[in-house]
Structure 1
Amino acid sequence: MLRNVNEFVRRNTFVRFRHEPLNDFQEESPIQRVLSRVTEFYKCFIANCQRLKLKYLRLRDRMSSWSHHRYDTGLASLDDLAANSETLDFKTTKIRYVVCHPTDNQRCLLTCNDVALVYQDMCLKPHYLISPKQRNISCAAFRPWDGTHLAVGGEGGICVWSISRAGVKSMVWYDYREEEFIYDLQWLQGGSLLGSASLGNQRIQIWHPALRLVLQELYMPVSGTNYWALRHPLDLMYLIYYIRERSSLYGYRNNMDVMSNNLVKRMPLQTAAWTAKGNHLLYVLKDSSKVMGASSTKDVGLFKQENKVWSSREVIDLDRFFCNWHQCVGGPIQSMAMDPVHVYVTFTFTNQSFILLCVLHIPFNCCIKLHPLQIINSPVPGLCGRPSCHTFGNARLSGENIERSLVICWSSSHLQIEELTAQTREDALLFEEHEIPFKHDIYQIGKN
């Protein structure tokens, strides 16, 4: 028995000088120990690179924010705003912009007199939002899940209006920069943050609504890319992470510079819209009639790092197209609007006075296809009018479903609302085959 005790003490004396076994039957080999040390070193190296990358990006943002001018172009003017706007006849049309609440029936119209008209009901008198700070307004956005806040972008900053149920109006001014134009807005993260795109310095701003301060400002490398990047249908914070993403080992493969160059080839965009889950993009270049489609695929690179590889192709040329067995002439595209459920897409043309309604199709989540479905002309017979702006919104509640609508603002100061009942592409083609017309309402702006 004493000999067994001595043997037990001797084994416990030398057990601390050897490594812990992987299990009861096998110890870690020298090669496995070397591989584990190399893996730990690689993880520490990547973590340090990420820290250095964040420090570099923060320093770059601070240095870029010191410049009040955009690179190689100077300050923007009202002519530049009109040239970059998707609104047809921006300077002369009465209604410059229209936006619908994402979950309600509210609609906002921006007029050439820098007045925002908010309609709770088109048959009732709207709320008139007027302020001396509100100059050269060109965009607006309702706060999601909240029917009382509206952001209006214009020269020098943003006006955020609050309208109570009793009709009491109040405004908070978000000061940005003098002689700078905010020409696109979007609420982020359910309304906790506000994103804006500025024209002159080609940047995207992320605002804190309570503090009225810019938390982050991103510079877009290619002209004409900041507004379509802002219109990402999902949470913009994901897109911002993609813009800021860098590869510490093999260059700037995931940078927005590469994505922008591959898509637009350093030519400015006229209009663009994201589809599906942000994996597809429809866009049109300046003075072009061709609708381009870009799709992203995942590519596994070195060390199993996933990257998005973008490829672009022509979807349809709307210079001349067939619609309802008739050949139509389109020409250069002015604007485009995307249906929230990705069934319809609409186009307006620079030299035409109608709106083209198309059906969107992405078979097996691959290539984008467009099928011209209907041509929508002026709602008033005998009155020549052109569509200045348009968007998709909600028409009315129908049971558990929300019926969508196409809201069109004409240069004749008429507002047309086309109710869309198709929930899928097959429904839209079936309605067209049976020639079922859309129910529509027409309102005269300024008469109520």
Structure 2
Amino acid sequence: MRNLEAFEVPNDGEIALCEINGRMQSMNYNYANVNAFTNTLECYPKIHITRDLLHPVTSRDEGKALFLPVNVSFLKQLTQIYYEQGFVEALHTASAHNQIIISKGALMVLDILKYINKIRILFNPNIKYSGTNLINQFSQTRNWLSNTIRCISWHPHTKKVAVVTCDDSVRIFSDDNAIMPLLRYKHQRNITCVAWRYMSNSEIAVGHENGITVWNIDANSLVSRPSISNAVFLKLPNHKPIMSIAWSPKGDKLVSCAACDNTIYVWDVELNKTSSQKRPGSSGNILLKWSQTGEKLFSCSNGLVFRVWDCYTWECERWTVLDGRVQTACWSSCGTNLLFATSTETVIYGLIIKTDQIFTSNTETSSSQAIPLIDTSKIDIEGIVVGGLIQCMESDPKGKHLAVLFQDTNCVAVFNIVRQPMLQIIPSSLVIGLPEEKPSIISFLQHFEAGTCLTIGWSSGRVQYYPIIYTDLSIPNQVNTSLYPSFNTSPF
């Protein structure tokens, strides 16, 4: 099993900007500019979200300070609290009433609800966590609770990207930045994931603490803030917080999972109907990944269990890890290789799917085995610490590269994926941010003619492009080969 020692790092004071024909190109971070090496990114949007661009998050109670208090009847006050804050808060208000019958009745109901909640926590421990803490624990985004950028999702067919920020806004950037749609809704709180619909130019699903909002953005509209009339709200009782959503490659189905619900739902968005896939062995699910061929669906629980579903029969093969849970996973482009990492081991595992029968009880005759591919234990390479437990992994659409984001080291590791004669992961390059920057989230462009391109959301709100270019694939004048020899490059 390989380790991370094969990585070569940029020279002191330099950061990696791109990779051309297997050679990492770097430049001093004070005047770093990827356009000095390649012109392939000129038509892509430049994204840097600073704190002054964020919308302040306000609570409903702030507007009450503008009005003078008035005396209202108890029944009217109770009704108002019920509609604004819910049944439980209305009971707390009733328990403080001066009439003994009303207060004792409210206290009795609150005691009953407390014992019911204890029983629910016994069967599903995740309920005791607040929504934001639970999301932060299971999210693919590093430090989800405090980082500016929480999600990045590239459109599968056009040069368009959705960026989710900590103010619960979804900003749509494209090659034409004249109009930047901003998707906001009062019930769209604590956004966890976002996914563009395949075979569509305008639909995007946003998963959040309360459910799923599917927006339809008219490409010809001049409105920068689409109204909720352009959206469909999908919600089911106890199916929250939504942790992962995924569109099928045909765009006809949307799957979702929630941290406090062990049921995976398959949505027909047009009809607002669902079918459910439920298996015992967990109290919730945290990650869904549809293979690019559409034949398999990966799902993992918040416990030891993960599954690979056959999307034709909706039968699944059940697999368990020894400790912890599956933290992150990704498919190869052909849908026959699955890479995953757990929350307790510094190892990337590979799963080779050769037949419809993924796992068998007899390990000697099983056609597929989860095998350790690379050890990601922390090491120091020329003063740069890399490795540790893995936060997120993404493979590029062509299945040639793997990007890995770690939980507590500040490098994004890029590997080459080799499938023949056997599945291997080979260290390629390390991407380091500017001083004081930490990586938050990673995502690959869906279509990049010159090779592939990784995008990294940094803690400063900057989105970096890291293109991996092969000159035999690029069109003329896309790579400035006459420019980059004049700069210092790494020996890789």
Q: TM-score range by the shorter chain?
A: 0.5 to 0.7
1:153-209 alpha-carbon deviations (Å, 9 max, x no partner): 011211011111223532111122357111111112521111112211133210011
| Counterpart in the other structure of 1:420 | 468
| Aligned-residue offset at 1:145 | 2.3
Whether the 8 Å contact between 2:264 and 2:285 is mirrored in structure 1 is no
Is 2:202 the partner of 1:148?
A: yes
Q: 1:180 to 1:206 in 2, by over 3 A?
A: same
Which residue of 120, 125, 128 maps to 1:73? 125
Which residue of 429, 432, 444 maps to 1:377? 432
- Output the CA distance in 1 between the equivalents of 2:284 and 2:386: 27
Q: How many residues align?
A: 336
| Counterpart in the other structure of 1:95 | 149
Instruction: Give the 3-state SS of the residue equivalent to 1:384 in structure 2.
Output: coil
Instruction: Give the 3-state SS of the residue equivalent to 1:404 in structure 2.
Output: strand
Whether the 8 Å contact between 2:442 and 2:454 is mirrored in structure 1 is yes
Alignment gaps of 5+ in structure 1: 1-67, 247-254, 426-430, 438-448
Q: For structure 1, which segment, 386-395 or 162-171, has the greater mean C-alpha deviation from structure 2 after superposition?
A: 162-171
- Output the CA distance in 1 between the equivalents of 2:446 and 2:170: 19
| Counterpart in the other structure of 1:191 | 251
- More helix by percentage: 1
Whether the 8 Å contact between 2:263 and 2:276 is mirrored in structure 1 is no
Q: Give the TM-score taking structure 1 as reference length.
A: 0.66
Which of 1 and 2 has higher RCO (CA within 8 Å, sep 6+)? 2
| Counterpart in the other structure of 1:410 | 458
Alignment gaps of 5+ in structure 2: 1-119, 298-307, 474-478, 486-492
| Aligned-residue offset at 1:299 | 8.7
1:361-415 alpha-carbon deviations (Å, 9 max, x no partner): 1113xx321111111111x4xx31101001001466xxxx465321111001111
Percent identity between matched residues is 21
Instruction: Give the 3-state SS of the residue equivalent to 2:175 in structure 1.
Output: coil
Is 2:292 the partner of 1:233?
A: yes
Paired AA for residue 110 in structure 1: V
| Counterpart in the other structure of 1:4 | none
- Output the CA distance in 2 between the equivalents of 1:182 and 1:233: 22
| Counterpart in the other structure of 2:391 | 334
| Counterpart in the other structure of 2:409 | 352
| Counterpart in the other structure of 2:326 | 269
- Output the CA distance in 1 between the equivalents of 2:383 and 2:472: 25
- Output the CA distance in 2 between the equivalents of 1:411 and 1:274: 27
Instruction: Give the 3-state SS of the residue equivalent to 1:310 in structure 2.
Output: coil
| Aligned-residue offset at 1:223 | 6.9
1:24-80 alpha-carbon deviations (Å, 9 max, x no partner): xxxxxxxxxxxxxxxxxxxxxxxxxxxxxxxxxxxxxxxxxxxx9995435263212
Paired AA for residue 245 in structure 2: L
| Counterpart in the other structure of 2:68 | none
| Counterpart in the other structure of 2:34 | none
- Output the CA distance in 2 between the equivalents of 1:345 and 1:227: 18
1:289-332 alpha-carbon deviations (Å, 9 max, x no partner): 21111223449999xxxx97431221011214698x99853222
Whether the 8 Å contact between 2:329 and 2:339 is mirrored in structure 1 is yes
| Aligned-residue offset at 1:265 | 3.3
| Counterpart in the other structure of 2:440 | 388
Which residue of 228, 231, 237 maps to 1:177? 237
| Counterpart in the other structure of 1:130 | 184
Q: Give the TM-score taking structure 2 as reference length.
A: 0.61
1:119-146 alpha-carbon deviations (Å, 9 max, x no partner): 1237545211000121111101111121
- Output the CA distance in 1 between the equivalents of 2:446 and 2:234: 29
Please report the RMSD computed on the Cα atoms of aligned residues, expressed in angstroms.
3.5
**Larger-gyration structure (1/2):** 1
Whether the 8 Å contact between 1:320 and 1:327 is mirrored in structure 2 is no
Q: 1:70 to 1:311 in 2, by over 3 A?
A: farther
- Output the CA distance in 1 between the equivalents of 2:269 and 2:205: 10
Instruction: Give the 3-state SS of the residue equivalent to 1:83 in structure 2.
Output: helix
Whether the 8 Å contact between 2:451 and 2:469 is mirrored in structure 1 is yes
Paired AA for residue 171 in structure 1: A
- Output the CA distance in 2 between the equivalents of 1:299 and 1:136: 38
